[in-house]
């Protein structure tokens, strides 16, 4: 998809397709079938508890979900977590990337230690956060309040966002580090000769050159953050209206055994993610780093 | 080159074969050819001894293998549901919380009990637990153990235990005025425990949440009365400050710390108190759970576990036999004394050994003879989730408004139309 027959390089084009065909075929086999199957399930009344009452109901599951307040509450929570965590991660990740880029001594050590949170399994990290924030077992709970922060909505959401940021800032930093490496030193030296301050060099030279890398990092993290599940599942299990859309889909599928409604939610999550990707690619011009046309078509 | 490729192909084939065979060897019969009955049940400390006993009795006919399910009730259910939906033949006898039995029966995942197995499972079994094992007039499980809450009170503060909620609230208010410990401690967090409390109130008021077939939300006068009492209790100033966040063990600890005059909780609190606070335990007595109207005894919600046989079992006949052995009178007595789970067979309570382990057995039995089940419907999980969400926090219940809301959302839950929170 990234290679187009621009200057008559049809042979190259064909070779490209041949080379990626095996991967593409496997992808279609393992992703297209489940996606289509859940679309099919989402148009049925299908509850495992009542196997005899399975029937085709068209779009009525979508009406049920989209007119339900639990869904919109979860949608709002998910959006809040996505926007806040990605924004904070971008700032912190950029700082971390600059530090890793500029470090002269012990570069390997700095990079390794910065990546540790990303290397820890999310569920394991979430459990340690949960115990830390539980009065009695934790060292953080009684530092800030007298109560139990995970039993109230605002503090629960703040803790979930904190856990997300702690966990994925290194990933953001890593993607941005690749972008920083793309900024030519000559350009920075030239700007410096013209009298630009360090801040001006960063804003006027580094950021514009890094823009493709920043957008890719934002796209990856936004799509990822929107599907937040593990941290919420462990920290609050959705109590006090802290469910994300993925939690809600899980509850309806596995706790409610309602394949119709659950699949409808999965499809809606898929559509939302697709819209986000579309906005990033078409409006902001995100493209894979290194592709010549930078995504504008 | 040819030999090289040949080696690779053979190695890959061997690896694939191993991958496919690995799980099979794990769940088939053991080497001696004795069929294995896989028994999935929650953690129970001394259950392995019951299993060993049954294996000895079976004398090579079958061998029960006890597979411990996760601790959380939701996790237990999700594991079984996921595997049954995939028609997994590796599960034979299933330990179901009594509220899951109708769901599994309706989904056609467990086998009906018939003939001699049925009569043995029904023989001498208390009516309440037995009802929880039935669906559409057929028996789908054998009740293994039951459970019921009692009123625990401090004899140094309460001379005469209250028989109704009004009396209990009044006694607590009087104690409060005198500056003595006064709280009524029980479970009020947004979870199953709140539904159990509410269900007891409704049943004691003679009300119904669903119709008898479990197909319609009736939510009659008694159900509205239950809302009224729950709201009044929660806002009367007699509960523990963290009532809305309290589950079973929290309630036990609050009472054990001497914070309350009354506690409504399962019998496990008594041995725990004797160990953790012996001075307090000496002052604590028990009575029947308070009722709604004076003169009408309470109808208390039961808990417990049923044993069912998976439809996908490879040895269903042996599985029924094994289940019957695991829950027979002798083994129920053993589990009652060693693991604290009250029996479902009435005659076990008359056993002299029971008196020492269960000084409160007369009250337990009296409540059990007249017990209430939670709504019996395959959609109970949905109904319960909707109820606990709507009833929480109990102080902000508004009788008519909450009743109307519940009538609608419970009906949606029954028809699997609604969205679960």
Q: Which residues of B touch A257 (CB under 8 A)?
A: 81, 85, 103, 107, 381
- Provide mean pLDDT across the span B99-117: 95
Q: Is the peptide bond before B418 cis (omega within 30 degrees of 0)?
A: no
Asked if A64's CB is within 8 angstroms of B81's CB, the reply is no
B391 HSE (CA, 13 A, CB side):
33
Judge contact between B107 and B84, C-beta under 8 A.
Answer: yes
Asked if A258's CB is within 8 angstroms of B416's CB, the reply is yes
Percentage of residues in chain A having pLDDT higher than 90? 44
End-to-end CA distance of chain B: 61
Is the confidence at residue B96, as pLDDT, over 90?
A: yes
With an 8 Å Cβ cutoff, the interface of chain B facing chain A consists of 74, 77-78, 81-82, 85, 103, 106-108, 190, 245, 378-379, 381-382, 385, 416-421
Is the confidence at residue B23, as pLDDT, over 80?
A: no
- Provide mean pLDDT across the span B366-372: 94
- Provide mean pLDDT across the span B347-359: 91
Distance CA B180, CA B170 (A): 14
- Residue B350 DSSP class: G
Distance from CA of B272 to the nearest CA of A (A): 20
Distance from CA of A59 to the nearest CA of B (A): 13
Percentage of residues in chain A having pLDDT higher than 70? 92
Distance CA A282, CA A136 (A): 51
- Provide mean pLDDT across the span B320-342: 94
Residue with tokens 């009298």: A195
pLDDT at A111: 83
pLDDT at B9: 57
Q: What ipTM was predicted for this assembly?
A: 0.71
- Collect all residues with Cβ–Cβ distance below 8 Å to A172 and sequence separation of at least 6: A89, A90, A92, A93, A94, A96, A97, A217, A221
Is the confidence at residue A296, as pLDDT, over 50?
A: no
pLDDT at A295: 41
pLDDT at B227: 96
Chain segment B157-207, per-residue pLDDT in tens? 999 999 999 999 999 999 999 999 999 999 998 889 999 999 999 999 999
Confidence of residue B4 (pLDDT cuts 50, 70, 90): low
Give the nearest chain A residue to B100 (CA atoms).
A49
pLDDT at A284: 77
> What are φ and ψ of residue A202, in 5° steps?
-65, -45
C-alpha torsion sign, points A288, A289, A292, A293: positive
Asked if A64's CB is within 8 angstroms of B106's CB, the reply is no
pLDDT at B166: 96
- Residues within 8 A of B (CB atoms), A 1-60 only: 45, 47-51
Residue B289's Cβ-count burial label (10 Å; 0-12, 13-18, 19+) is buried
- Collect all residues with Cβ–Cβ distance below 8 Å to B221 and sequence separation of at least 6: B207
Judge contact between A225 and A85, C-beta under 8 A.
Answer: yes
Asked if A50's CB is within 8 angstroms of B378's CB, the reply is yes
DSSP letters spanning B112-175: PP-HHHHHHHHTTB-HHHHHHTEETTEE--EEEEEEE-EEEEETTT-SS--SBHHHHHHHHHHH
Distance CA B366, CA B150 (A): 11
Asked if B245's CB is within 8 angstroms of A258's CB, the reply is no
Beta strands B63-68; B36-41: pairing state = parallel
pLDDT at B393: 86
Judge contact between B336 and B145, C-beta under 8 A.
Answer: yes
Tokens of A206: 């580094």
pLDDT at A297: 39
- Provide mean pLDDT across the span B375-401: 90
With both helix axes pointing from N to C terminus, report the angle between B316-326 and B115-122 in degrees, rounded to the nearest 10. Answer: 10
Is the confidence at residue B25, as pLDDT, over 50?
A: no
Judge contact between B174 and B183, C-beta under 8 A.
Answer: no
pLDDT at A102: 84
Q: What is the CA radius of gyration of chain B?
A: 24
Asked if B420's CB is within 8 angstroms of A49's CB, the reply is no
Chain segment A222-272, per-residue pLDDT in tens? 999 999 999 999 888 887 788 899 999 998 988 888 899 999 999 999 999
Q: How many Cβ pairs closer than 8 A exist between chain A and B?
A: 63
Pick A49's closest partner by Cβ from B82, B245, B378.
B378
Give the nearest chain A residue to B384 (CA atoms).
A256
Is the confidence at residue A53, as pLDDT, over 90?
A: no
Distance from CA of B96 to the nearest CA of A (A): 15
Q: Which residues of B touch A153 (CB under 8 A)?
A: none
Beta strands B134-135; B63-68: pairing state = unpaired
Chain segment B122-155, per-residue pLDDT in tens? 999 999 999 999 999 999 999 999 999 999 999 9
């Amino acid at each position: 998809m990234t290679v187009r027959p621009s200057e008559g390089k049809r042979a190259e084009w064909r070779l490209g397709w041949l080379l990626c065909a095996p991967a593409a075929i496997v992808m279609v086999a393992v992703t297209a079938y489940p996606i289509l199957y859940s679309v099919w399930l989402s148009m049925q009344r299908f509850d495992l508890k009542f196997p005899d009452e399975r029937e085709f109901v068209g779009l009525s599951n979508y009406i049920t979900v989209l007119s339900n307040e639990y869904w919109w509450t979860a949608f709002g929570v998910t959006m809040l977590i996505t926007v806040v965590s990605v924004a904070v991660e971008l700032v912190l990740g950029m700082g971390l990337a600059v530090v890793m880029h500029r470090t002269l001594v012990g570069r390997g050590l700095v990079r390794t230690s910065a990546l540790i949170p990303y290397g820890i399994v999310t569920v394991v990290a979430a459990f340690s956060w949960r115990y830390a924030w539980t009065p009695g077992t934790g060292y953080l709970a009684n530092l800030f309040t007298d109560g139990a922060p995970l039993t109230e909505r605002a503090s629960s959401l703040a803790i979930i966002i904190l856990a997300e940021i702690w966990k994925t800032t290194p990933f953001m930093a890593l993607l941005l580090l690749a972008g920083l490496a793309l900024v030519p030193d000559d350009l920075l030296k030239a700007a410096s000769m013209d009298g630009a301050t360090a801040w001006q060099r960063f804003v006027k030279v580094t950021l514009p050159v890094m823009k493709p890398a920043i957008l890719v990092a934002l796209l990856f993290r936004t799509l990822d953050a929107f599907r937040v599940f593990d941290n919420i599942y462990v920290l609050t299990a959705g109590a006090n209206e802290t469910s994300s859309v993925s939690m809600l889909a899980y509850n309806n599928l596995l706790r409610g055994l309602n394949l119709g409604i659950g699949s409808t939610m999965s499809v809606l999550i898929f559509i939302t993610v697709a819209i986000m990707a579309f906005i990033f690619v078409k409006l902001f011009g995100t493209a894979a780093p290194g592709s010549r046309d930078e995504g504008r078509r | 080159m040819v030999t090289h490729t040949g080696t690779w192909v053979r190695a890959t084939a061997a690896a694939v074969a191993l991958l496919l065979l690995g799980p099979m060897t794990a769940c088939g019969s053991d080497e001696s050819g004795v069929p294995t009955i896989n028994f999935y049940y929650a953690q129970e400390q001394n259950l392995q001894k019951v299993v060993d006993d049954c294996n000895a009795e079976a004398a090579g006919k079958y061998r029960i293998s006890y597979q411990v399910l996760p601790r959380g009730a939701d996790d237990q259910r999700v594991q079984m549901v996921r595997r049954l939906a995939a028609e997994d033949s590796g599960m034979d006898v299933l330990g179901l919380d009594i509220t899951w039995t109708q769901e599994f029966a309706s989904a056609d995942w467990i086998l009906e009990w018939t003939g001699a197995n049925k009569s043995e499972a029904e023989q001498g079994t208390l009516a309440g637990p037995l009802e929880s094992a039935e669906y559409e007039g057929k028996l789908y499980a054998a009740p293994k153990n039951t459970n019921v809450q009692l009123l625990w009170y401090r004899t140094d503060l309460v001379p005469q235990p209250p028989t109704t909620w009004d009396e209990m609230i009044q006694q607590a208010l009087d104690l409060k005025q005198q500056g003595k410990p006064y709280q009524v401690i029980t479970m009020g967090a947004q979870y199953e425990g709140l539904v159990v409390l509410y269900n007891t109130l409704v049943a004691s008021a003679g009300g119904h949440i669903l119709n008898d077939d479990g197909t319609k939300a009736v939510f009659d006068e008694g159900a509205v009365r239950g809302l009224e009492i729950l709201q009044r209790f929660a806002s009367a100033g007699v509960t523990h400050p963290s009532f809305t966040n309290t589950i079973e063990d929290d309630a036990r600890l609050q009472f054990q710390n001497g914070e309350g005059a009354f506690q409504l909780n399962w019998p496990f609190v008594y041995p725990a108190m004797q160990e953790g606070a012996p001075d307090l335990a000496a002052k604590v007595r028990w009575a029947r759970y308070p009722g709604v109207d004076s003169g009408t005894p309470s109808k208390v919600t039961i808990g417990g576990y049923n044993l069912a046989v998976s439809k996908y079992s490879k040895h269903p006949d042996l599985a029924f036999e094994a289940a019957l052995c695991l829950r027979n009178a002798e083994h129920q007595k053993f589990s009652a004394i060693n693991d604290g789970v009250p029996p479902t067979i009435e005659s076990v309570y008359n056993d002299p050994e029971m008196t020492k382990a269960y000084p409160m057995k007369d009250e337990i039995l009296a409540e059990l003879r007249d017990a209430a089940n939670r709504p019996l419907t395959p959609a109970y999980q949905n109904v319960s989730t909707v109820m606990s969400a709507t009833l929480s926090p109990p102080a902000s219940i508004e009788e008519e408004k909450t009743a109307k809301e519940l009538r609608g959302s419970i009906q949606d839950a029954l028809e699997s139309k609604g969205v679960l929170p």
